[in-house]
Chain A
Amino acid sequence: DQQVKQNSPSLSVQEGRISILNCDYTNSMFDYFLWYKKYPAEGPTFLISISSIKDKNEDGRFTVFLNKSAKHLSLHIVPSQPGDSAVYFCAATPIVNRDDKIIFGKGTRLHILP
Chain B
Amino acid sequence: DTGVSQNPRHKITKRGQNVTFRCDPISEHNRLYWYRQTLGQGPEFLTYFQNEAQLEKSRLLSDRFSAERPKGSFSTLEIQRTEQGDSAMYLCASSLASIYNYGYTFGSGTRLTVV
Chain A residues engaging chain B, CB cutoff 8 angstroms: 4, 6, 9, 32, 34, 36, 41-46, 49, 51, 89, 91, 93, 99-107
Q: Give the number of A-B contacts (CB < 8 Å).
A: 64
The number of residues on chain B lying at the interface, defined by a beta carbon within 8 Å of a beta carbon of chain A, is 29
B91-108 interface code vs A (CB 8 A; 1 in, 0 out): 101010011111111111
Query: Within 8 Å of chain A (Cβ to Cβ): is B85?
Result: no
Tell whether, in the assembled complex, residue A46 and residue B104 are in contact, meaning their CB atoms are under 8 Å apart: yes
20 chain-A/chain-B pairs, Cβ below 8 angstroms: A6-B42, A32-B99, A32-B100, A36-B103, A36-B106, A41-B108, A42-B108, A42-B109, A43-B6, A43-B93, A43-B108, A44-B91, A44-B106, A91-B103, A93-B99, A99-B56, A102-B33, A106-B40, A106-B41, A107-B42
Min Cβ gap B62→A in Å is 19
Query: Within 8 Å of chain A (Cβ to Cβ): is B48?
Result: yes
With A44-B43, A100-B31 already in contact, 15 other A-B pairs whose C-beta atoms are closer than 8 Å = A32-B99, A36-B103, A41-B108, A43-B93, A43-B108, A44-B91, A46-B102, A46-B104, A49-B100, A89-B42, A93-B99, A100-B104, A101-B56, A102-B33, A104-B43
The one of B45, B91, B100 in contact with A101, judged by C-beta atoms closer than 8 angstroms, is B45
Residues of chain A with a CB closer than 8 A to B105's CB: 46
| A102 with B99, Cβ < 8 A, contacts A89-B42, A107-B42 known | yes
B78-98 interface code vs A (CB 8 A; 1 in, 0 out): 000000000000010101001
The one of B4, B40, B56, B99 in contact with A43, judged by C-beta atoms closer than 8 angstroms, is B4
| A103 with B45, Cβ < 8 A, contacts A34-B103, A49-B100, A49-B101 known | yes
Complex A-B, nearest 7 residue pairs according to Cβ-Cβ distance, in ascending order = A43-B106, A104-B42, A46-B103, A100-B99, A104-B43, A106-B42, A43-B108
- Docked complex Cα distance between A99 and B107 (Å): 19
Residues of chain A with a CB closer than 8 A to B101's CB: 49
